[in-house]
Chains A and B, each alone.
Chain A
Amino acid sequence: MLETDRPDPFEDRLSAALREAGDDFRTDRTALATAGRSRGRRALLRRRTALVGTVAGVALAGVGGMLVLPSNDPAGPARSTAASSGTATAAATAVTGDDLLRELKALLPPGTYREESARGSDDRLGPTASLVHDDGAGAAAIAIGFGRVVWGSARVREMTACPDHDVRPYDHCTVDRLPDGSMLRLYQGYEYPDLRVDTKLWTADLVTTEGQHVSVSEWNSPAQKGAPVSREEPPLSTQRLRTLVTAGVWREVVDAIPERPKPSRSAAPRPARPTVSGNAIGDTLTTLLPGKLDVVARGGQESEYAYVVVDDGRGRSLVQINVQYGMGDGAGPLYAGGEILPDGTRVVTRQEPGEKAGAGVVMWTVDTLRPGPAGLRVVISAFNTGDQNEDATRDAPALGMEQLRKLALAEQWDALR
Chain B
Amino acid sequence: MGTARQRRTDEYAEFAVARAGHLYRSACLLTAGDTHLAEDLVQETFGRLYVRWGRVCRAENPAAYAQTVLTRAFLAHQRRRSSGERATDVFPDLPGAGDGDASLRLTLLDALARLPAKDRAVVVLRYWDDRSIEQTAEVLGVSSAAVRTRCSRALGRLRDLLGEDLSEYARP
CB of B146 closer than 8 Å to a CB of A: no
Interface residue B117 (Cβ < 8 Å from any Cβ of A)? no
Task: Tell me if B57 is interfacial: C-beta within 8 Å of chain A.
Answer: no
Give CA–CA (A330, B41) in the complex, Å. 12
Is B124 part of the binding interface, using a Cβ–Cβ cutoff of 8 Å?
Answer: yes
Contacts of A3 in B (CB 8 A): 132-133
Residue of B nearest to A75 (CB): B102
> Does A124 sit at the interface, judged by CB under 8 A?
yes
Contact across chains for A11 and B33 when beta carbons are under 8 A apart: no
The one of A14, A44, A329 that contacts B79, using a Cβ cutoff of 8 Å: A329
- Whether a CB of chain B sits under 8 angstroms from the CB of A36 is yes
Smallest Cβ-Cβ distance to B24: which chain A residue = A27
Given A33-B13, A36-B50, A43-B51, the answer on whether A197 and B2 have CB atoms closer than 8 Å is: yes
Known: A33-B13, A84-B36. Is A21-B109 also a contact (CB below 8 A)?
A: yes
Q: CB distance B135 to A25 under 8 Å?
A: no
Segment 115-129 of A: residues with Cβ below 8 Å from B? 124-125
Q: Given the complex, which residues of A lie within 8 Å of B123, measured CB to CB? A: 14, 18
Cβ-based interface call for B116 (8 A):
no
Residues 29-48 of chain A, each 1 if its beta carbon lies under 8 Å from chain B, else 0: 11011111111111110010
- Beyond A39-B50, A333-B69, whether A21 also contacts B44 by CB under 8 A is no
Known: A17-B108, A77-B33. A1 touches B130 (CB 8 A): yes
**Chain A: interface residue total (CB-CB under 8 A):** 61
Given contacts A29-B17, A78-B95, A333-B65, contact A2 B35 (CB under 8 A): no
* B16 at interface, CB cutoff 8 A: yes
Whether B164 contacts A10 by the Cβ 8 Å rule is: yes
| CB neighbours of B53 from chain A (8 A) | 40
B105 at the interface (CB under 8 A from A): yes
User: Is the pair A330, B73 in contact by a Cβ cutoff of 8 Å?
Assistant: yes
Q: Is A80 an interface residue (CB 8 A)?
A: yes
* B contact residues, range: 35 or more
Instruction: Specify which chain A residues have a CB less than 8 angstroms from the CB of B37 in the assembled complex.
Output: 83
Q: A3-B132, A14-B127, A36-B16 are in contact. Are A79 and B93 (CB under 8 A)?
A: yes
- Given contacts A18-B108, A22-B28, are A33 and B124 in contact (CB under 8 A)? no
Contact of B165 among A13, A26, A37 (CB under 8 A): A13
Interface of B is mostly: helix
Q: Would you call B7 an interface residue if the criterion is a C-beta within 8 Å of the partner chain's C-beta atoms?
A: no
When the two chains form their complex, are residues A21 and B45 in contact, meaning their CB atoms are under 8 A apart? Answer: no
Kindly state whether residue B150 has any CB partner on chain A within 8 Å.
no
Which single member of B1, B127, B141 contacts A196 (CB below 8 Å)?
B1
Which residues in B have their C-beta under 8 angstroms from that of A76? 33, 35
Asked if B29 and A330 make an inter-chain contact with CB atoms under 8 angstroms apart, the answer reads no
Whether A10 lies near B159 (C-beta < 8 A) is yes
Once the chains bind, are A40 and B170 in contact (CB under 8 Å)?
no
Q: A11-B155, A33-B16, A332-B72 are in contact. Are A17 and B50 (CB under 8 A)?
A: no
| Shortest Cβ gap from B156 to chain A (Å) | 10
- Contact yes or no, B79 A22, CB < 8 A: no
Residues of A near B124 (CB, < 8 A) are 18
| A395 beta carbon closer than 8 Å to chain B | no
Q: Is the beta-carbon distance between A23 and B46 smaller than 8 angstroms?
A: no
Q: How far is the CA of A115 from the CA of B22 in the complex (A)?
A: 26
When C-beta atoms are compared, the residue in chain B nearest to A78 turns out to be B95
**B61 CB within 8 Å of chain A:** no
The answer to whether A11 and B127 have CB atoms under 8 Å apart is yes
Quick check: is A270 within 8 A (CB to CB) of the other chain? yes
Q: How far is the CA of A25 from the CA of B134 in the complex (A)?
A: 28
Answer yes or no: A171 CB below 8 A from chain B CBs: no
A32 touches B42 (CB 8 A): yes
A296 within 8 A of B: no
Q: A10-B166, A15-B128, A21-B29 are in contact. Are A36 and B141 (CB under 8 A)?
A: no
Question: B3 to chain A: closest CB distance in Å?
Answer: 11
Contact with A along B60-103 (1 / 0, CB 8 A): 00000100110011001001100000000001011100000110
Chain B CB within 8 A of A292 CB: no
Contacts of B131 in A (CB 8 A): 1
A329 to B78, CA, bound (A): 11
| Interface assignment of A226: CB less than 8 Å from any CB of chain B | yes
Q: Does A107 contact B (CB under 8 A)?
A: no
Our pick among B9, B48, B79, B134 for the contact of A226 (Cβ within 8 Å) is B9
Instruction: Determine if B21 and A17 form an interchain contact, defined as CB atoms under 8 angstroms apart.
Output: no
Q: What are the interface flags for A300-334 relative to B under an 8 Å C-beta threshold, 1 for contact and 0 otherwise? A: 00000000000000000000000000000110111
Complex interface: chain A residues within 8 A of B39 (CB): 27, 32, 35, 69
Q: Are A20 and B51 in contact (CB under 8 A)?
A: no
**B1-41 interface (Cβ within 8 A of A):** 1-2, 5, 9, 12-13, 16-17, 20-21, 24-26, 28-29, 33-40
A14 partner, pick from B36, B50, B133, B155, beta carbons under 8 A: B155
Q: A32-B20, A36-B45, A69-B43 are in contact. List 18 more A-B contacts (CB 8 A).
A: A1-B132, A17-B170, A18-B29, A20-B171, A24-B102, A27-B21, A27-B24, A29-B20, A33-B13, A35-B46, A37-B13, A39-B46, A41-B50, A43-B50, A77-B33, A79-B33, A83-B37, A197-B5
